[in-house]
Structure 1
Amino acid sequence: MTTVSACWRALTDLVLGADARVRRRVRLSMIAVWGYSISSVLLVYAMQIGLVARVPGEMLLAYMWVGMTTFYLLVRTDWSTRLGSPGMDLPQCLYALVAILFAYAITGPVRSSVLMMIALVLVFGMFTLSARQVFIMGAATVLGLGVVMATLVQLYPAEFDPKLELIKFVLAASTLPAVSAVAFYVAQVRGRLVQQKAELRKAFDRLQDIATRDELTGLVNRRHMLSLIQQAMQRQQRAGEGFCLALIDLDHFKRINDLHGHQAGDAALRHFAETARAELRQTDTLARWGGEEFLLMLPSPDPGPGGALQALGRIREALQAQPLADGSLRLGFSAGITEHPAGEALDLTLERADRALYAAKAAGRQRTEVLPVPAPRERPLVKPAQV
């Protein structure tokens, strides 16, 4: 059963594609495949019983299958996106309209029934075309039908009665705009729904950003950082992926506020955040912990104190090389680093990082201290805290 499922999955991926967006577009194209297939069967039958001449019938068959295959390949390979029409919706509808008008010209006594397929194409357009494209399709349908009927009357007056063709055209020309109007309205509603969905997504992303990020610096906020650390602790329990924490405090930040004002203090916080992010790995997470304090989490690979020291060293060098404001103010920081051993409560790790930070400040600031993890027998046996 597993082999059958795997083979079926491979077959569907081959036909529809593995990408979800491409699969949706190919499925819609399969509606056209179904329509062309039924039409082809009926056309072959009409040729066999003499309703349709063989040469024009074969020409129409070739036209349908070449077009259907071409559109399928364009959508399946996603070349349609490069051409500016991912689903090739309007081109497919216009191509089908030409096929229907061709069929109207060659199907003899049953040609009137062929006109019903135009409405089917317009209904399909309700769910795939934009409002502007529906208008183009409706106008092309009425114009194309009028041109074909007039041409047939001129070329074959004995077979096509002008009065009868005029009645057919007036009926079609009065009915098709109504169908087009409905399709136009549906397309407008669908367009508004798509726009509203996009706006809701933007609003949701904005709310999520507000809930998880510090507004001033753009860094992860304290609440979200605690959640990320909890996830890292769970990965550590499952896969042994350790991590380090570094508690960082900007040196003499109060002096910056007192001498230069709170705007300069805010600029200093943003400057530190931007500089630090530029020097960190994508897997590292820096959060504003509170005030002028920041918390840095450095996960595997190589999350040891040596790697953390190097990362903080790069940040310190970058801050010295990029002074703030007029160049007279260079930021410095003190930091405390420690590892988080599996099974230890988070508050104990944070307390150890805080003691390392205090040691760095006591030693003269603008430095980093590492506080190693106590031996197992010296650590309290406490389960990981639920954050």
Structure 2
Amino acid sequence: MQTAADREAKLQRHRLRMTLLSVANTSLQSVIIGLYAWAGEVGWSVAWRFFLVGAGSSAMFALIIWRGLNLRLKDPGLLLPQIALSVLIQLLFLVLAPKLWVLFLVAVLVTYNFAMMSFSARQFTLAWLLVGAASALALFAARGRFGHFGTSGVSIAILWLFFFLCIRQLTAIGTQFSSLRTQLSEKNKQLSASLERIQELASHDDLTGALNRRSFMQLLADERARAQRAGQPFCIALLDIDHFKTVNDRFGHLIGDAVLKEFCAVAAASIRVTDRFARYGGEEFMLLLAPSTSSDVARVATERVRQALEAHDWDRIAPGLRVTLSAGVSQLAPDESVEQLVRRADEALYAAKDAGRNRTVVA
């Protein structure tokens, strides 16, 4: 299992990788400016100054992250200061080299896209307003000195190369988002599986896999409400494994647990599709026989479970082991509560035990 330290180390490697990508992007832009200087569009000083300031500042951030100094900061990703400084540098050189103003404005737009990695809605709005104001100031400061690229084949090729590199940067951002979407989708799948497992554990008995008492009683209350609306009867059966304490004393509690699980498997194979089965507590189990089930039908269904249990081969769990059950059946009476219904089934169960066990009694 990945620890918090492992996650932080992985995140730190990602921060360093993204910052080094910024160094590479700024260096490539310096190359583009250098190509324009070679083509005679601007002076060479613009290219090397941009490289020193742009790539140098990005390299400074990379060094801070590499040394782990960013971990002491409130924003260890340093995304906001990196974006802010990069935008300021681009707009500064727009003023210094207004003939290449299109390059610097496009670079600002590409840099701004990196904000999508972690900016909140409020930060996006603030960044939009600040970048808009800063770009307006830069364009105003450079007014009257704007030019345009030459139309020679070399100038057009350099412009295409710049465009191609910008697309590459946007592709890198898109790749990051694609990776995040994939991770999020996988996390959602894991979360859904975990929630299903939690719901399973909350509603089912962990030993036998049958419904637990809490979920069964809720199911019983819902069925009572439905029966009262529709005027249709239903029945419950309270089942108790005969002399289960003797099974534990004679064969041990591990065999006792095996008996409980095997009993549930036998019962589940014997009941109707519409019936619901639950562990009521200890060696007691409950059947909900619905909908529109009369006490006669409920008795037959419960007897089917009892007979299947009696005929089951228990020797494969423990030689000499025999398991039977006693059952009490009750049908919901008009205006009867769930507690009263269960109490009558319990009374019928005790009547079955008093009559010699291994039988079904209807209240």
Which TM class, normalised by the smaller chain length?
Answer: 0.5 to 0.7
**AA in 2 matched with 1:179:** L
2:286 is aligned with 1:290: no
Q: How many residues align?
A: 215
2:334 is aligned with 1:342: yes
2:322 is aligned with 1:330: yes
Evaluate the alpha carbon distance shift between residue 314 and residue 285 of structure 1 in structure 2; reply closer, same or farther with a 3 A threshold. Answer: same
Retained in 2: the 8 A contact 1:236–1:342? no
**AA in 2 matched with 1:212:** S
Alignment partner, residue 127 of structure 2: none
Distance in 1 (CA, whole Å) between partners of 2:270 and 2:321 is 20
Distance in 2 (CA, whole Å) between partners of 1:179 and 1:307 is 70
Evaluate the alpha carbon distance shift between residue 162 and residue 279 of structure 1 in structure 2; reply closer, same or farther with a 3 A threshold. Answer: farther
Alignment partner, residue 68 of structure 1: none
SS of aligned partner of 1:295: strand
RMSD: 2.5
SS of aligned partner of 1:247: strand
The structure whose Rg is larger is 2
Report Cα offsets for 1:53-81 as digits up to 9, x if no partner.
xxxxxxxxxxxxxxxxxxxxxxxxxxxxx
Q: 1:173 aligns with which of 143, 164, 169?
A: 164
Alignment partner, residue 297 of structure 2: 307
Report Cα offsets for 1:135-166 as digits up to 9, x if no partner.
xxxxxxxxxxxxxxxxxxxxxxxxxx975774
Distance in 2 (CA, whole Å) between partners of 1:312 and 1:232 is 19
- 1:230 positional shift: 0.6
Retained in 2: the 8 A contact 1:233–1:342? no
- 1:327 positional shift: 5.3
Retained in 2: the 8 A contact 1:219–1:273? yes
- 1:196 positional shift: 2.0
Retained in 2: the 8 A contact 1:241–1:299? no
TM-score using structure 2 length: 0.55
Evaluate the alpha carbon distance shift between residue 222 and residue 168 of structure 1 in structure 2; reply closer, same or farther with a 3 A threshold. Answer: same
Retained in 2: the 8 A contact 1:245–1:298? yes
**AA in 2 matched with 1:208:** Q
Using the TM superposition, name which of 234-243 and 223-232 deviates more.
Answer: 234-243
Q: 2:263 aligns with which of 262, 272, 282?
A: 272
2:229 is aligned with 1:238: yes
Distance in 2 (CA, whole Å) between partners of 1:173 and 1:289 is 70
Distance in 2 (CA, whole Å) between partners of 1:248 and 1:175 is 73
SS of aligned partner of 1:328: coil
Higher relative contact order by CA 8 Å / sep ≥ 6: 1 or 2?
2
Alignment partner, residue 203 of structure 1: 194
Distance in 2 (CA, whole Å) between partners of 1:325 and 1:317 is 19
Moved over 6 A (4+): none
Retained in 1: the 8 A contact 2:255–2:318? no
Distance in 1 (CA, whole Å) between partners of 2:272 and 2:340 is 26
Report Cα offsets for 1:92-129 as digits up to 9, x if no partner.
xxxxxxxxxxxxxxxxxxxxxxxxxxxxxxx9xx9xxx
Evaluate the alpha carbon distance shift between residue 240 and residue 322 of structure 1 in structure 2; reply closer, same or farther with a 3 A threshold. Answer: farther
List gaps (5 residues or longer) in structure 2: 1-112, 117-151
